[in-house]
Amino acid sequence: MKKYLIAAALAASFCAPSVVMAAGKNLLSVHILNQQTGKPAPGVEVTLEQKQGDGWKKLNSATTDQDGRIKGLWPEQPESTGDFRVVFKTGDWFASQKQGTFFPEIPVEFHISNTNEHYHVPLLLSQYGYSTYRGS
């Protein structure tokens, strides 16, 4: 048992920092469920942006996995507080499903005030509506 723990620790030390961060404690995650089917929405591009003055600066982007999740969307940079948004690129995803949508992009703005907490932004999605909340 001790050999396996040592091997696991060594393997983790050789991983790229972004892989370790995504697998460990990442400040931000998202999850998309298709309300029409009750199933996850894999393959949706999501961007993270930070408010800067009157505009937005792109910090990172990723694509949802087979479970409709991005477990680590926060980039490899010091965590900071402020106003952020995730933009779900739903138009391309619905087109890949051979469906139309009224919402080709869904921006969800939020405020991070404590970088010692985890922030989760779930999206319940349909072609003509959506809902979101702060998850855990």
- CB of 122 within 8 A of CB of 31? yes
Q: Is 87 helix (H, G, I), strand (E, B) or coil?
A: strand
Residues 6+ apart with CB under 8 A from 130: 90, 103, 106, 123, 124
106-132: pLDDT as tens digits: 999 999 999 999 999 999 999 999 999
Residue 14 lies in a domain: no
Residue 50 lies in a domain: yes
Residue 118 lies in a domain: yes
Residue 15 lies in a domain: no
**What span, in angstroms and rounded, lies between the C-alpha atoms of 112 and 114?**
6
Residue 93 lies in a domain: yes
Domain that holds residue 41: 26-132
Residue 10 lies in a domain: no
Please give the model's pTM, rounded to 2 decimal places. Answer: 0.81
Lookup result for tokens 């949508």: 101
Residue 17 lies in a domain: no
Our count of domains for the chain comes to 1
Alpha-carbon distances, residue 92 vs 16, 34, 71, 128, 131 (angstroms):
30, 14, 21, 15, 19
CATH code of residue 70: 2.60.40.180
34-90: pLDDT as tens digits: 999 999 999 999 999 999 999 999 999 999 999 999 999 999 888 899 999 999 999
Closest CA to 44 of 83, 3, 95: 95
